[in-house]
Structures are given as C-alpha cells and as structure tokens.
Amino acid sequence: MKQLLAVLLFMLLPQQSYKVEVYDYDGLEPLINQKDEKVHVVNFWATWCGPCVKELPYFEKINDEYKDENVEVLLVSLDFPSKYDSALKPFIKKNNIKSKVVALNDTNQNRWISAIDENWSGALPATIIYKGDKRMFYEKSFTQEELETELKQFLK
Amino acid sequence: MKIFKLLPVMVLVFTLSAFSIVDEDKGYSVGDVATDFSLENIDGKMVSLSDFKKAKGFIITFTCNTCPYAVAYEDRIEALNKKYAVKGYPVIAIMPNNTEIKPGDSMENMQKRAKEKGFTFPYLMDKNQEIYPQYGATKTPHIYILQKSKNGNVVKYIGAIDDNYQDAEAVKEKYVENAVDALLKGEAIKVSETKAIGCSIKV
C-alpha cells in the first residue's frame, strides 16, 4: 500500500521536481554490490565532464535495449551538491534520462575511490560492470561498440 | 621469416592490451626519479626544474582552467606556493589538456586565468602532451611532490592536495602540506599516496 502511494505521489509530482537520491559511500555501497541475477552497469559521471556526457547515450541505449536480458544501468553523478538543482536535475530532464540516476556526495574520496576499485585513479568517467561475483572496472571512455562488447561478456 | 620473430611480440602486445582497461600507463611511483622538462610558461619563457637552483624540491601540480575540481583548488594551490616557495618547495603548475578539445585551456586563457587569480607560480603548458604521461597523471588536479637529490628529483608524494575538494574550511587532512613539512624536517611522509576525483586529461 505504501509503495502504491509512493508511486501515485511520484506520478502526481510535476516533472521539474525530479528527485535525485543522494548518498555517501556507505549508502551507495549496497547499490553497487547487488547480489542478484542482473547484470549491473554502473557509470560514474558528472554534467561538467565532457567525455562522460558524450558516452551517456550509449549507457541509455543499453539500459533500454538490454532490459529484457536483465541489464540495469545506474548513473552515479559526482556533480557538486550546489549544482544538483541548477545543473544535474535540468540535465536529466532535458536529455530525458531513463536510467536510474543517483548522486554521490562524500568528500572522503581517498577512502571510497579505492573502495570502488583499487585501480581507479579518480579520473572521470569510470564504469563498473558486474553480475554476482564477476566484476570488471574501466577507467576510460567507451564507444557504443566497446560498451556492448564488454556488456556481452556478462550476458549468457 | 620476420613474421615468426614478431609473433611472440604480437601475442604479448595483444595479451597486454586485452587486460589493460585503464587507459593510461601507470607512470611514476613514489621513489622513482621524475623527468625534467622544458615547457612554455604563460610569460612566453621556457621553464625547467633545473632553473630552480635553490629549490629543495617541487610541488608539481597538473591542473587546468576548465575542470571544476581544479578550479575549486586554485586558491589553495596559490596558498601552497606562497607558503612553500620561500622554504624551497615552489609550486610548478602544468596544464596537460589538448586545447583543441578544451579551448578554455588555451595559452591565452591560461594567461587570463593566472592574471585574474594572481597566480605567483609558473603555469606551464604541456603542449605536446609528453610530460603528463611520463608522470602518470590521469586527471586535474593531480599532485607530485619531488625532492631534489644527487640522483635527480625523486617522487615523494602522489595524489590529492587535501581531503575535501568542496570546502577548504572543512579540510581535516592537508596531505600536501603534511608531506612537504615532513620533507623539510627530514622526517618520513606518513601518507605518500592519496586519491581524488578529477577531470580526465583531454587527449
């Protein structure tokens, strides 16, 4: 019942008040380590990051096209909190982003960058693809083709 | 015949590339000797580390005009130079981006930004993009603290300036200051490598 109410409420809200959940690393951690049957694609990005914005449509595309194959995309924004209302939310709306977007706000980067992957230097964009215990980390920009090639390793 | 000789090399290259998912090579680790360079400063002069006869070392800062994280640290980089240049550790800032991709980082815009902010340190351009890969810088800002020795400039610290990019007032650990203070006192650096989010260097 509660859930239904939440859905109804969400539908009634005007689009401008698109909500972005904000997490610190401890809050984000379960979202990037889900133990289910799905292939999870987690992309770290920001609206100010050119190469991130360029590759976002590729993530949107796999989120849409591989839905039936149990693929789920999570876009983790590293925009500054002061930009959530002025940049992040308008960006999501303008580009009609369908994948789930959350924001990570945790200034103790020295802790969580290594926790996410010890090989990550901290440069954006970065991506994780995982399913169960199988996990790959990429500190790079993708083309559509590269992203699909990597994704297909997890589909079987 | 030649192809047979090349085959193992080709296999090796292929194997390496197959597992290499991080774009850049690793570059320097703490303890390595860093290369000197000759890069153009915003005043048109070429600058090398060897020009700084009296320096005990350097705070090499890969930074740029266009990255919000780099911008968030501009005042702190200037403060580092004010505090440590006189003690023998000047800041040397290097802009590593391809300016065709980031016109906001052109020499003209670097000059403008330096003037606006009153930078007192050299702000150099890695025009051929040959220096940052040797250091292993992947993003802006990215700091390398070097200490002069008879073998060259030894890397003593790699990473972030401090532990809070958002708010200079809320910083708990000043990694760079702690490291330089330790070097000045002849003590061991407690934290010699840290990580921070930054903008990938535009190639």
**Cβ–Cβ < 8 Å for A17, A103:** no
| Average pLDDT value over all residues in chain B | 91
In a domain, B12, yes or no: no
State the pLDDT at residue A128. Answer: 98
Q: What is the pLDDT at residue A3?
A: 64
Q: Is residue A1 part of a domain?
A: no
Q: If you average pLDDT over residues A75-94, what whole number do you get?
A: 95
Q: What is the pLDDT of residues A5-64, one digit of tens each?
A: 665 555 554 444 578 999 999 999 999 999 999 999 999 999 999 999 999 999 999 999
Cβ contact A109–B23 (<8 Å): no
- B contact residues 26-65, partner A, Cβ 8 Å cutoff: none
| CATH code of A24's domain | 3.40.30.10
Rounded to the nearest angstrom, the minimum Cα separation between B39 and chain A is 24
Mutation pick from A52, A84, A110 vs chain B, by most beta carbons of B within 10 Å, is A110
Supply the pLDDT for residue B166.
86
Q: Which residues pair with B94 in a beta bridge?
A: B62, B124
Count interface pairs A-B at CB distance under 8 A.
77
A146 within domain boundaries? yes
Residue of B68, B163, B201 lying closest to A110 (CB–CB)? B163
**Residue B175's pLDDT band (boundaries 50, 70, 90)?**
very high
- Report pLDDT for B7: 55
**Domain-located, residue B102:** yes
Domain count, chain B: 1
**Predicted local confidence at residue A15, as pLDDT:** 47
A2 or A147, which is more confident:
A147
For residue A98, is it within any domain? yes
For residue B124, give the amino acid letter. Answer: L
Q: Compute the distance between CA of residue B184 and CA of residue B6 in angstroms, rounded to an integer.
A: 50
* CATH number (domain holding residue B120): 3.40.30.10
Question: Quick check: is A8 in a domain?
Answer: no
Asked whether residue B8 carries a pLDDT value surpassing 80, the answer given is: no
Taking an 8 Å cut-off on Cβ atoms, the answer to whether A138 and B21 are in contact is yes
Q: B124 in a domain, yes or no?
A: yes
Contacts for B122 with CB less than 8 Å, ≥ 6 apart:
B41, B42, B47, B90, B92, B93
With a pLDDT cut of 70, the percent of chain B lying above it is: 88
Of A61-70, A77-86, B7-16, the range with the lowest mean pLDDT is B7-16
User: pLDDT tens digit string along B36-91?
Assistant: 999 999 999 999 999 999 999 999 999 999 999 999 999 999 999 999 999 999 99
Nearest CB among B139, B163, B194 relative to A107 is that of B163
Does residue A93 form part of some domain? yes
- Quote the mean pLDDT of chain A: 91
For residue A3, being part of any structural domain is answered with no
CA distance to A136, B37, B184, per residue, from B54 (Å): 47, 17, 14
State which residues form the domain around A25.
Answer: 16-155
> Is residue A109 assigned to a domain?
yes
Domain that holds residue B192: 28-200
CB contact under 8 A, A50 and B22: no
Whether B40 is in a domain gets the answer yes
Q: How many domains does chain A have?
A: 1
pLDDT band at B196 (very low <50, low <70, confident <90, very high): confident
**C-alpha closest to that of B200 among B119, B120, B114, B141:** B141
Task: Give per-residue pLDDT as tens, B111-154.
Answer: 999 999 999 999 999 999 999 999 999 999 999 999 999 999 99
Q: Assess if residue B108 is contained within a domain.
A: yes
B5 belongs to a structural domain: no
Indicate which of A22, A82, A109 best probes the interface with B, i.e. most B CBs within 10 Å of its own CB: A109
Within-domain flag for B53: yes
Q: Rounded distance, CA B80 to CA B91, Å?
A: 7
Considering the domain boundaries, does residue A9 fall inside one? no
Residue B72 maps to a domain: yes
Amino acid B188 reads A
A107 with B139: Cβ contact below 8 A: no
User: B184 and B125 in contact (C-beta within 8 Å)?
Assistant: no
- CB–CB of A96/A64 below 8 Å? no
Angle between helices A144-152 and A50-65 (to 10 degrees): 50
Between chains, do A107 and B138 touch, taking CB under 8 Å as contact? Answer: no
